[in-house]
Amino acid sequence: MTPEIMTVLMFTTLVAAIVVGHPLAVTLAAVATLFGLIDNGFNVPGLLDLFVNNAWGIFLNYTLVAIPLFIFMAQILDRSKVSEGLFDALYIVLGGLRGGLGLAVIVVSTVFAATTGIIGASVVAMGLMASPALLRRGYDRSLSAGIICSSGTLGILIPPSIMLVVYGGLTGLKETSVGNLFAAAILPGLVLSGLYLAYVFLRCSINPKLGPPIPREERTATPGQKLMMVVKNFVPPFGLILVVMGTILAGMATPTEAAALGAVGAVLLALVSGKLSREVITQASISTARTTAMIMALFIGGKLFSVVFLSMGGGDVVADALLGMDVSPYVVLVIMMAVVFFLGMFIDWAAILLVVVPIFTPIAMDLGFNPLWFAMLICINLQTSFLTPPFGYALFYFKGVAPPEFTMGDVYRGILPFVAIQLVGLALMVIYPQIITWLPDLVFGR
């Protein structure tokens, strides 16, 4: 069979197997095995040699050691309830504004995103804490669901992010090292958070019934008390962020070493807050082992898939199709972003990265795009995959912990404006690439 036919069949088989419901890691490896055998004339020893060499290369990747360390940090922080005090403080400070409680949710989720990097932890924590309060204060259910789900997804983008660690381990390029990716993701994450804040504030200002303020008689705290509450609950998580990100950006530690500092810092925070126990350590360790095993299984399956796909000429087929189009490079960019967005509606972010990055990155470089800028566009795009139906994970995380008054219809209606906001944010990054490249250039040089 020609490479063109093999490429179409390989992708069709992959999508069909995922839609049927087979596990992603197994599906990627199985499809790679099937088409690898077809391509090499059923030379089993040769295919096994190819697989073993590439799988072993993954385990030798020092950068990936940061994955279990960041996951452990997130699990400890989640179980020590670091975000609860900050939410209570901002609830009092911002509650007097129209939409103020929603604004507090977005701010807390942004801070929480910078300390966890795991979507499930952010959405579940805010769903448990904020959804009953929003409901009790008369907030519109759709708007409330959209606020919690969208702001919770910032954890996949704002560093330290597991997705950025995985991306950096995939490319092997200096431009897209984990340190550069962390620096490049800070401003885009804050821009998206700012867009969410502006949308909620403007919408509730126009229609106060969507997000009524806290009654005046309940606002009894003095300005000094409010300031002390915010400082007391903001300093610990922000200090941890400075330890992790500051050591990386200052060149004092590699991302892996900074992840170790973050894990130790999370344990110390839990100890100081009186929430550290044998059960917390045990449960955090078990969750870390399970999540790390899942990610590494996906990593291996995706690596085998991409190796077979590229070895049979699939990468050349896609590259020739896109580069051969007599259009602007930005039209090709839009096509690649549309493919990532569409895949995000059905496939897990890790599988998308593992499949598209080895294919799209060389094409982007051939078109003259900055690989770091292009990498961040893909990561921002993938953030929408947690919100887009039918398989947006954030939607189901939220529905699983929200009060029964929230219907799935409320959730779907609520996230649509925020998906549009994310796409606006993506467009801003395309129009103004300095939002992505300015901080890495400042910290690490061009």
What confidence score (pLDDT) does residue 83 get? 63
Residue 419: the pLDDT is 93
Q: How far apart are CA 150 and CA 147, in angstroms?
A: 6
- Other CB atoms closer than 10 Å to residue 91's CB: what's the count? 20
Instruction: State the alpha helices, DSSP H only, in 207-277.
Output: 223-249, 255-272
Q: Which amino acid is at 314?
A: G
Q: What value does the mean pLDDT take over residues 185-208?
A: 93
Q: What is the spatial distance between Cα 368 and Cα 345, in angstroms, rounded to a whole number? A: 29
180-191 confidence digits (pLDDT tens): 999 999 999 999
CA neighbor of 153 nearest in space, from 131, 182, 120: 120
Spatial distance between the Cα atoms of 63 and 205, rounded to a whole number of angstroms: 46
Helices 178-206, 255-272: inter-axial angle, 10-degree rounding: 50
Give the rounded distance of the alpha carbon of 97 from its chain centre: 30
Both structure tokens of 32: 């790679």
Backbone torsion region of residue 140, taken as left when φ is above 0, otherwise alpha when ψ lies between -120 and 50, otherwise beta: beta
State the maximum Cα–Cα separation within the chain, in Å, rounded to a whole number.
Answer: 78
Q: What is the mean pLDDT of residues 19-23?
A: 75
Give the lowest-confidence range in 8-12, 24-28, 331-335, 424-428: 24-28
Question: Quick one: pLDDT at residue 423?
Answer: 94
**Window from 196-200, 275-279, 398-402, 438-442 with minimum mean pLDDT:** 398-402
- The count of structural domains within the chain is 1
Terminal-to-terminal C-alpha distance of the chain:
45
Cα 3 to Cα 355: distance, rounded to the nearest angstrom? 17
The range of the structural domain enclosing residue 58 comes to 3-444
Six-digit token pair at 91? 């609830």
Q: What local confidence, expressed as pLDDT, does residue 433 receive?
A: 95
User: Tokens at residue 175, please?
Assistant: 């431009």
Confidence of residue 121 (pLDDT cuts 50, 70, 90): low
Question: Which residue type is seen at 231?
Answer: V
> What is the predicted pLDDT for the residue at 379?
92
Stretch 248-256: mean pLDDT? 79
199-203 average pLDDT score: 94
339-355 pLDDT, tens digit each: 889 888 877 777 788 88
Q: Who wins on pLDDT, 234 or 269?
A: 269
**Could you tell me the pLDDT band of residue 231, with boundaries at 50, 70 and 90?**
confident
